[in-house]
Structure 1
């Protein structure tokens, strides 16, 4: 399986292409690295390819906050500038004066 360069970076805010949630990236897998059971649980019509980067997000929608695992093909850059409310953000990231997210060195281990 050939890998490709990730389009998004750690600390970047992204949104899902189909579903109404957004989040900040805290880790990247160069190709699918979750369980086969998880992958097969996705309806075949919308199941992503495995040969692309997958991103771990501190994600949120209108109702709740959670951790999401999302394929690159299903993400778009979120240019809204709106801050995220996920309760784990301050544990993982330092927030810059411009609202940017920079991974804390102790969280990178």
Structure 2
């Protein structure tokens, strides 16, 4: 098993498709069905590395992405997504915070 290099609340950029997003969940390895993998994971990324659930900037989509296809996003700009306030409590300028507000 490989270790997650990215964290919940971190801004990311998809290397292949170019979109920005924010990670809201991490799986230690691929956790969806083989049918989903065959249909959606066209580049056939490894199943035994971390996979991330990402809210996509500027849309109402979320994605499930292998670690090898993501990199940290250097732009310190918030993500525009309708579920941001449901998942996160604050934006610090470079990441989102989750948990209960004080």
Same fold (TM over 0.5): yes
Check 1:5–1:11 CA distance in 2 against 1; reply closer, same or farther (3 A cut): same
Q: Which runs of 5+ in 2 are unaligned?
A: none
Q: Distance in 1 between matches of 2:91 and 2:46?
A: 34
Q: Aligned pair 1:36/2:31, yes or no?
A: no
Check 1:71–1:97 CA distance in 2 against 1; reply closer, same or farther (3 A cut): closer
Alignment match, 2:2: 4
Alignment match, 1:65: 60
Runs (4+) off by over 4 Å: none
- Which of 80, 98, 101 matches 2:75? 80
- Which of 2, 15, 18 matches 2:16? 18
- The number of equivalent residue pairs is 101
How far the C-alpha of 1:99 sits from its partner, in A, is 5.0
Q: Which runs of 5+ in 1 are unaligned?
A: none
